[in-house]
Each structure stands twice: as structure tokens, then as C-alpha cells.
Amino acid sequence: MIDETRLARITQTLLEFTPTVPSSSLFPTLVPEAAPLIEIDPYAFLIAVCLDRGTKAQVIWTIPYDMKMKLGHLDPQLIYKMSLEELTDLFSQLPRKPRYVNDAPKTILDLTRFVIEECSGDASLVWEGRRAADVNRILRSIHGVGAGIANMGVLLIEKAFDVRFRDLDRTGMDIKPDVHTMRVLYRLGASDAQTFDAALAASRAMNPSFPGGLDGGLWEIGRRWCFASNPNCEDCLLNRDCSKVFD
């Protein structure tokens, strides 16, 4: 395992790097026209967040656009009137699908019901005027959304919509362990395995008050330099302190 001095330097670098990661990196899409939809439509943004379970980011952030193209709209008022069977049929016709396609219609149904019944159709009210802890709880109430996705969602809301949750640094929110964050933490020497639990433990040890503050930086490093195969260690901003542990 890595020594504490190097780990502290890595942590500080990640905390400084994470806020600089541009939205275009955090919300990659397969279709250029899909990106603006995520940036301007809170409902589209929340659809992608709530479906983000084991699918490549480029696919997830494109799905709201695919839904809009298939339906001719992405109006929560109209989707609210759709039955579970109709939503199931919709997902079966999409050119790109979430990993858990059978769960996706129930996820969208739960999300849309909250947006209509609790937010009068304005998806931005899922977070406007609320604490981070409350937004986290709302997201976790939606079918299929666990703690990791909810944590990630709160962090991405800040990035995408220039929201600042006053309680965020006191929530102790975790990272969302995925293939990128788990791989980077393991190769750095911060965790002893490329597993969900090991990544959580490592990030909590690195930044106990707010482990989630490391998430964006770890994810971007995994996508930009620390590839699963042939990593570009030379250009990685952590190359001087990385343990470079490979399988």
C-alpha cells in the first residue's frame, strides 16, 4: 500500500483537479445533439442519472435524447400519462438501452411521478431550495437508484446546473465506485483491490469528511489516462505519486 505522505499529495491533487473537470467530460454523449439536452433540461438530466447502472456513460447520457426522438417530446406531463407497459415498449424500441432495461420503465415512472406530483412538472425543483441530504433521499426513493447513484447525482447537479448545496461538505457522501474509480484507486495503491468496497474504504480514508469530492477527478483520470489497457501514465497528473499497480 502507498505511504501516507504520497497519499496525502494524491488526495490534494484530486481535490484541486475535480472542480476543473468540464461538464463535457462528465456528460459524454454518442450523438452531438444529445449534449445540449442534458445541459438545459433538468428532466433529461435526471432520467440519465437514475438509469446510470452498469452502462457506459456515453450511452446513458444519450438515452434521454433517444427517448425524445422516439416520442417526439420529452415532456414529463405527457410521460406521466404513459402506462408501465407503454414505457416498456418505448425502451424496447430505443437504439441504445440501459443495462437493466426491464427495470428502466419503473425507474422512469417513479421519477416522473415525483416530478409531476411533488414538483408541479418542474424537474429543477427536485433540487432547488433543498439540502443535498434531501435531494439524496429523493433520488434513493426512485426505483433502482442506490446510494452510489444518488451521491453521484447530487455532485453532478452542482456541476451541471451551478447549484451549491450548503450542507454538501458535511454529508460524508461517498464516491460512486465504477470501473474507472476502482481501477484508478487500485493502481494508485490507495486500495488493495479493484472492488466496490475497497474503493469506498480508500476514498473514505483519503478524504473522510467528503469522500465524494474525489469522484469526478478519479473518474476523469480513468477515462483520460488510466485506461484498462495501455494506460497513458506519462501524461497522467498523478504519475509522480502513483504506485502503478497493474494486474
Condensed to tens digits (0 to 9), the pLDDT of residues 72-115 reads 999 999 999 999 999 999 999 999 999 899 999 999 999 999 99
b/e for 69-106, b at 16 or more Cβ within 10 A?
A: eeeeebebeebeebeeeebbebbeebebbbeeeeebbb
Quick one: pLDDT at residue 21?
87
| pLDDT above 60: residue 148 | yes
Q: pLDDT above 90 covers what percent of the chain?
A: 73
Residues 224/57, Cβ–Cβ less than 8 Å: no
Q: Homologous superfamily of 31-168 in CATH?
A: Hypothetical protein; domain 2 (1.10.340.30)
**Residue 98, C-beta contacts closer than 8 angstroms, at least 6 positions apart:** 51, 52, 53, 55, 59, 60, 63, 91, 104
Selecting from 3.30.310, 1.20.1740, 3.50.50, 1.10.1670, what CATH number does the domain 4-22+174-235 have? 1.10.1670
Residue with cell 475497497: 198
CATH 1.10.340.30 segments of the chain: 31-168
Q: Is 95 helix (H, G, I), strand (E, B) or coil?
A: coil
**Residue 89, C-beta contacts closer than 8 angstroms, at least 6 positions apart:** none
Q: Is 34 helix (H, G, I), strand (E, B) or coil?
A: helix
Quick one: pLDDT at residue 1?
67
| pLDDT above 90: residue 68 | yes
Quick one: pLDDT at residue 23?
74
Taken in order 146, 148, 151, 155, the sign of the CA dihedral is: negative
> What whole-number distance in Å separates Cα of residue 137 and Cα of residue 153?
11
> What mean pLDDT is reported for the chain?
92
Q: Which residue spans within 87-185 are E strands per DSSP?
A: none
The residue-averaged pLDDT of 30-38 equals 93
The residue-averaged pLDDT of 37-54 equals 94
| pLDDT above 70: residue 170 | no
Quick one: pLDDT at residue 3?
87
> What whole-number distance in Å separates Cα of residue 207 and Cα of residue 172?
9
Quick one: pLDDT at residue 204?
93
CATH 1.10.1670 segments of the chain: 4-22+174-235
